Amino acid sequence: MSLLENAFGEHAALAMGLLVALGSGLLIGLERERHKGRGHRGGRELEPAGLRTFTISALAGALAHGMAIPGLVAGGALAITVLAAMAYFRSSEQDPGLTTEMALLATYLIGVLCVQAPLLGAPAAVTLTALLSARTALHRFATRLLREEELHDGLLLAALVLVVLPIMPTEPLPWLAGMKAYSLMGLLLLLLGLQAVGYVALRLLGAQTGLALSGLLSGLVSSTATIATMGQRAKAEPHLQLACASGAVMSTAATWLQATLMLFALAPQAAQQFLPLGVAGILVAGTAGLLLARQARHGLNTTAPAATKPQRGGPLRLKEAAVIALLLSAVAVLVSWAERKFGSSGLFAAVMLAGLVDAHSPVASLAGLTQAGQIDAALMCKGVLAAIASNSVTRAATAWFTGGRRFAAIVAGVLLVSWLLAAGILWVILPTQT
């Protein structure tokens, strides 16, 4: 910028905008020129605009804004629109698409933006170029890969996120233990989002890998919600039960991982004593998840190909997600009532009550108390184990409610073994304290 200031003085900003507009026009024009080269039919070029036309359009937008003549930018946009319309009518019989004509107008507006905000104009040009060059991939995705049910569920999820969620009340509801309608809708969207993540991973990576990976990642958000989502899919598609169990178990490994990372972030010195416990939980749950994924792969290899087709009805299960959201909300109401009725009868009672709903909140609270010197590291480790044990009860019940007895037995077994190993390590390495 200093070179431009030395060369153009007070017009350095305009010079920068013109240069960015020039580069933007060349970039978009190159893509359109290559597309025009592939568009010959009977010796005639179907595309009316190419490299020079798009470059001139971007420069025209930049000059129109830089000259600061009232109405010039709007007049230029109108002129570009008229020229694009004329070009379309001349070539509409051979190529009825409007892509090049609309891109020409967008290039003009990008040129205007390059003078106003070069850091926005350049990314806009790159985005437009990428969109234009991805024509074949986007067409294939829309017509061959995307199913009608998937499009419907995607629009539903977008409507809930962009339309319904912003208008939900954010005031606490006394009859719902102070919870907010906004938070309840957020929980529902979390469940639906996890369903969508698992569905996409299933299609891209296959059942044995996709569900395990999505379970691990979504477990960092909510292991309970992940188990609920996996349980719903396991009940709906019994041939995927082991793969879904793998994802659910991997989400429990994510709980141990997140608890360990939270402790190191909030109380790093005390967290070193919890590290062996966290590693033990991660290894048990992670190994079990991988073994289940491997077993699921062998099972699917012996089934008919139709067994691995995407689930019917699209990726979202709105009814099941709403039931689980209400169930978790009911648990929150119960915990709030118990705290008001009986009060805090001790650290472990409060931690285990909070752990019924979420294991992360009590872990953060224990780390804060430890860092402040109110409790020692040994008591912190015991409290974290109490919170995870309490939350394991909720997760096991969720697994039984959503996935059935066998699914719940697998999840509860891994939860129990990982917790017992961590508790055993705590009993061995920490001195007995009263």
Average pLDDT in the chain = 79
Mean pLDDT of 104-132: 92
Q: Quickly state the pLDDT bin for 264 (edges 50, 70, 90).
A: confident
Long-range contacts of 345-351 (CB under 8 A, 24+ apart): 347/375, 347/379, 347/383, 348/382, 348/383, 348/386, 351/383, 351/386, 351/387, 351/390
Is 60 exceeded by the pLDDT of residue 328?
no
Other C-beta atoms within 10 Å of 334: how many?
Answer: 14
Backbone angles phi, psi at 47, to 5 degrees: -90, 125
Residue 56 has a pLDDT of 92
Residue 309 has a pLDDT of 46
Is 70 exceeded by the pLDDT of residue 94?
no
Q: Which residues contact 61 (CB under 8 A, 6 or more apart)?
A: 21, 73, 76, 107, 108, 109, 110, 111, 112, 113, 114, 115
Which residue has better confidence, 252 or 200? 252
Residue in 221, 286, 280 with CA at minimum distance from that of residue 250: 286
The least confident of 17-31, 43-57, 107-121 is 43-57
For residue 270, is it left (φ>0), alpha (ψ between -120 and 50) or beta?
Answer: alpha
pLDDT over 90 percentage in the chain = 25
Question: CA-to-CA distance for 88 and 97, rounded, in angstroms?
Answer: 8
Q: Which residues contact 332 (CB under 8 A, 6 or more apart)?
A: 177, 179, 357
Q: Quickly state the pLDDT bin for 42 (edges 50, 70, 90).
A: very low
Residue 256 has a pLDDT of 93
Mean pLDDT of 230-247: 87
Residue 304 has a pLDDT of 38
Residue 352 has a pLDDT of 80
Query: Can you tell me which residue has the tokens 């900003």?
Result: 13
User: CA of 244: how far to CAs of 295, 314, 408, in Å?
Assistant: 12, 17, 11
Is 60 exceeded by the pLDDT of residue 70?
yes
Whether residue 268 contacts residue 406, with contact meaning beta carbons closer than 8 Å, is answered with no
Which residue has better confidence, 11 or 125? 125
Which residue has better confidence, 142 or 41? 142
Structure tokens at 388: 């995870």
Question: CA-to-CA distance for 406 and 292, rounded, in angstroms?
Answer: 13
Which residue has better confidence, 350 or 51? 51
Residue in 24, 264, 310, 32 with CA at minimum distance from that of residue 147: 310
Which residue has better confidence, 210 or 295? 295
Is 60 exceeded by the pLDDT of residue 332?
no
Whether residue 114 contacts residue 62, with contact meaning beta carbons closer than 8 Å, is answered with yes
C-alpha 210: how far from chain center: 15
Is 60 exceeded by the pLDDT of residue 366?
yes
Which residue has better confidence, 355 or 422? 422
Residue 417 has a pLDDT of 95
The least confident of 192-196, 332-336, 387-391, 418-422 is 332-336
Residue 125 has a pLDDT of 92
Q: So where are the chain's domains?
A: 2-142, 146-429
Question: CA-to-CA distance for 223 and 187, rounded, in angstroms?
Answer: 13
Is 90 exceeded by the pLDDT of residue 92?
no
For the entire predicted model, the pTM comes to 0.57
Question: CA-to-CA distance for 222 and 288, rounded, in angstroms?
Answer: 19
Query: Can you tell me which residue has the tokens 């992670």?
Result: 286
Q: Quickly state the pLDDT bin for 303 (edges 50, 70, 90).
A: very low
The least confident of 23-37, 283-297, 327-341, 355-369 is 327-341
Mean pLDDT of 87-106: 75
Question: CA-to-CA distance for 374 and 367, rounded, in angstroms?
Answer: 10
Mean pLDDT of 268-297: 90
Residue 262 has a pLDDT of 80
Is 60 exceeded by the pLDDT of residue 434?
no
The least confident of 16-20, 93-97, 179-183 is 93-97
Structure tokens at 108: 């003009």
Is 80 exceeded by the pLDDT of residue 179?
no
Mean pLDDT of 281-308: 73
Mean pLDDT of 327-339: 57
